[in-house]
Homo-oligomer: A and B are copies of this chain.
Amino acid sequence: MYRMIRTATVGLLALGLAGTATAAELKPEEQIQYRQAGYAFMAWNMGKIKANLDGNYSQPQVQAAAETIRAIANSGMGALYGPGTDQNIGDVKTRVKPSMFTEREEVGRLAMNFINAANELAEVAALGDEAEVKSAFGAVGKSCKACHDQFRAD
């Protein structure tokens, strides 16, 4: 992670902006690291929502977390599963199963379920009803797990 961030931000510094980086131009190991970053950051935000549901509920914090999950879910992460990203590359490890690159219909179905669940969570989080958030949060968790169960190695 550290190395990847260094690489990613070297471009930002050098240009004062960002380096060119369409998925096609990214190395496979960069694609793996970026997608893992997205999942990790969603996990942090899922954890925050869970902590809110289990303890004192802060509507603004839950809303911000849900907005983040929604945005990442809709950011086009499919582009980070390019050729060569189906296996470990040096120190860059991935737990993705090869079947994720062949069972396209099923992957698409699961991805849409996840995106829809994330959109729904963000919508109810903005309204602030804790019971509705709990239900929508559970649906997001299930949509995550459905993909992990099928396409992530233990």
Chain A, range 19-38, C-beta contacts under 8 Å to B:
19-22, 25-26, 33-34, 36-38
Query: Which chain B residue lies CB-closest to A140?
Result: B17
Nearest B residue (CB) for A8: B43
Interface size, A (range): 35 or more
Copy total for this chain: 2
How far, in angstroms, from A18 to B145 measured CA to CA in the complex? 10
Instruction: List 15 A-B residue pairs with CB atoms under 8 Å apart, sorted by A's residue number.
Output: A1-B33, A1-B37, A2-B93, A5-B36, A9-B39, A13-B145, A16-B60, A18-B46, A18-B64, A20-B51, A21-B44, A21-B47, A37-B44, A45-B75, A68-B75
A contact set with B: CB distance below 8 Å = 1-2, 4-6, 8-9, 11-13, 15-22, 25-26, 33-34, 36-41, 43-52, 54-56, 58, 60-62, 64-65, 67-68, 70-72, 74-76, 80, 92-95, 137-138, 141-142, 144-145, 148
